[in-house]
A = this chain, B = another copy of it.
């Protein structure tokens, strides 16, 4: 069907004629935007290679879009070889479709259609992290009841098979924590701030101009997108349903260029991390800018790239790196799910990998430790008018309040020549202990407002 677009060389394994190959896996695409287009392009370009791996062809039989004209122009000659519709209902109920691929975005219509597809007995592949983070419990339960698969490798760090790694690769392990750079937009902005001294606003504008940030960047720079993804990582690591509502998310929009600079001078790099960590009977589940030593592996992740580090009891420290977004990159993940389905579509549920990695005993949630109770080192910056007097007093006060300062530095204030910036790196401490101490010193006349507070390490 798509042979004319296939360009594997003649000697490649894929060129072997496929006699007696089972019937194709028939796919319906909900949406033909960036990700839908990228998925289709890779499916067409590598069709024979993918069939050689999967043992069956994977064919897009139907595409549902809002705008038929636009879709026809995207599809070109392929429009004739598949069923193009603007009625998603037709697709999710079509007997011509085995798997519904949701690449439409949003959480309202997508939720309805995904649930309808499940009810119609279709398997679902989705790259929609918001949908699963917010409605995953409902969707996974519906899929389980109906005996179909909901696969979502494309929902997190797309080029990295991190869902598969957590669900299947590290199954022997008690996972201690997962910490990841899982929002490429934020990492691009942070890289620009660090490498070229840009302020947040300028770096954001550049990211938008280059297509790394949306016109409305709120989801990315406020930490929402990372929180969506973290909830899916944590579910697979710890055997819970997605606990998105419990994630304590702080983005990078308030980060100041001066703090990125001071951190660099002290040997640190600021990264937006999503962190899920065992803590007694509960979990820490948080997204925030974090200082990492410049030599840390996660500090080597530049631009819009993603990486997820996993600490587990048998495998130890592992890290998985790749692109976090992109049309074909997401397509790579969506197609990996389709290849899995090409083998497993007809299996019984207990023969399949469970949706959230646990066949039994998945819990609704684990208690999430409040931000005040999470212990970490901190980077504290105070802007002082009379540093020679104020700095010793600040240190005394912090010591009196049980906060140990491990390192101190002073830098000229970037804008106000009358001020000195006092930067303190604390020993691990709870915010519950640190905050009252900072509130005390904030009230002093020589402390010109409390400037910045960032977590250091995780």
Residues of A within 8 A of B (CB): 8-16, 18, 21-22, 38, 42-43, 45-46, 49-55, 153, 158-161, 164-165, 167-174, 238-240, 280-281, 295, 297, 300, 312-323, 326, 328-329, 331-336, 339-340, 343-344, 346-347, 350-354, 357-363, 366
Contacts and interface: CB of A to CB of B under 8 A. Distances in A.
B316 A329 contact: yes
Contact of A359 (B52, B312, B347): B52
A339 B332 CA distance: 25
* A8, A50, A173, A344, most chain B CB atoms within 10 A: A173
B332 A326 contact: no
B351 A171 contact: no
Given A42-B173, A315-B328, 15 more contacts: A9-B281, A13-B363, A14-B361, A45-B313, A46-B174, A46-B314, A52-B358, A53-B359, A54-B359, A55-B350, A161-B168, A171-B335, A172-B334, A314-B332, A316-B323
A38 B42 CA distance: 41
Nearest to A41: B314
Contact of A331 (B164, B314, B343): B314
Contacts of A332: 170, 172-173, 312, 314-315
B339 A172 contact: yes
> Which A-B residue pairs are the 7 nearest by beta carbons?
A161-B169, A16-B361, A55-B359, A13-B239, A172-B335, A318-B322, A13-B361
B159 A164 contact: no
B159 A316 contact: yes
A40 to B, nearest CB: 12
A52 B239 contact: yes
A170 B352 CA distance: 19
Contact of A22 (B55, B168, B350): B350
A172 B53 CA distance: 9
Report how many copies the assembly holds. 2
Given A54-B171, A351-B344, A358 B321 contact: no
A52 to B, nearest CB: 5
A34 to B, nearest CB: 14
Contacts of A49: 174
A49 B351 CA distance: 18
Given A14-B239, A52-B239, A168-B340, A8 B361 contact: no
Contact of A168 (B158, B164, B326, B354): B164
B52 A360 contact: yes
B317 A320 contact: no
8 contacts: A8-B174, A9-B281, A13-B358, A16-B363, A164-B168, A314-B329, A318-B323, A320-B320
Nearest to A320: B320
A52 B172 CA distance: 11
B52 A336 contact: no
Nearest to A339: B171
A169 B351 CA distance: 19
A239 B318 CA distance: 27
A43 B174 CA distance: 11
B13 A362 contact: yes
A402 B73 CA distance: 49
A393 to B, nearest CB: 41
Nearest to A162: B169
Nearest to A18: B360
A328 B165 CA distance: 17
A356 B362 CA distance: 32
